[in-house]
Amino acid sequence: LTAEAVGEADKIRAGAEALAVLDVSAALALLSESEAWCRPIVDASLAFAISGGRHPVVEQSLRRSGEGPFVANDCDLSPEGNAKNGAIWLLTGPNMGGKSTFL
């Protein structure tokens, strides 16, 4: 039996990888529905705009700890008039003020 299993190792591995992809996809689908996540729209433009952006790990951690709601952030780094030159933001704030979470 061991020899037969070793002989089919590539097929077993491929099946396990396919099951892993299905498992992760199903878990993310359930989580995205329960947390009202959305899929980004990606195109060839230089536009980069986020409305109500949230950090999924920090948001759940705050909810579980009862420390208050997560504050969603908007971010628009799209070049004005879709020009070739982009924008730069300087992000400042106190320690533990949410700079890393925003990024």
Could you tell me which of 34, 38, 35, 61 has the C-alpha nearest to residue 49? 38
* Digit-coded pLDDT (tens) for 33-54: 998 898 899 999 878 888 999 8
Cα separation, 47 vs 42, whole angstroms: 9
In a shared domain, residues 15 and 50? no
In a shared domain, residues 58 and 33? no
In a shared domain, residues 60 and 87? yes
In a shared domain, residues 61 and 90? yes
In a shared domain, residues 59 and 96? yes
In a shared domain, residues 57 and 23? no
In a shared domain, residues 76 and 93? yes
What's the pLDDT band for 83 if we cut at 50, 70, 90?
low
In a shared domain, residues 46 and 96? yes
What is the residue range of 54's domain?
Answer: 40-103
In a shared domain, residues 17 and 49? no
* Digit-coded pLDDT (tens) for 4-33: 999 999 999 999 999 999 999 999 999 999
Q: Is the separation of the CB atoms in 58 and 49 below 8 Å?
A: no
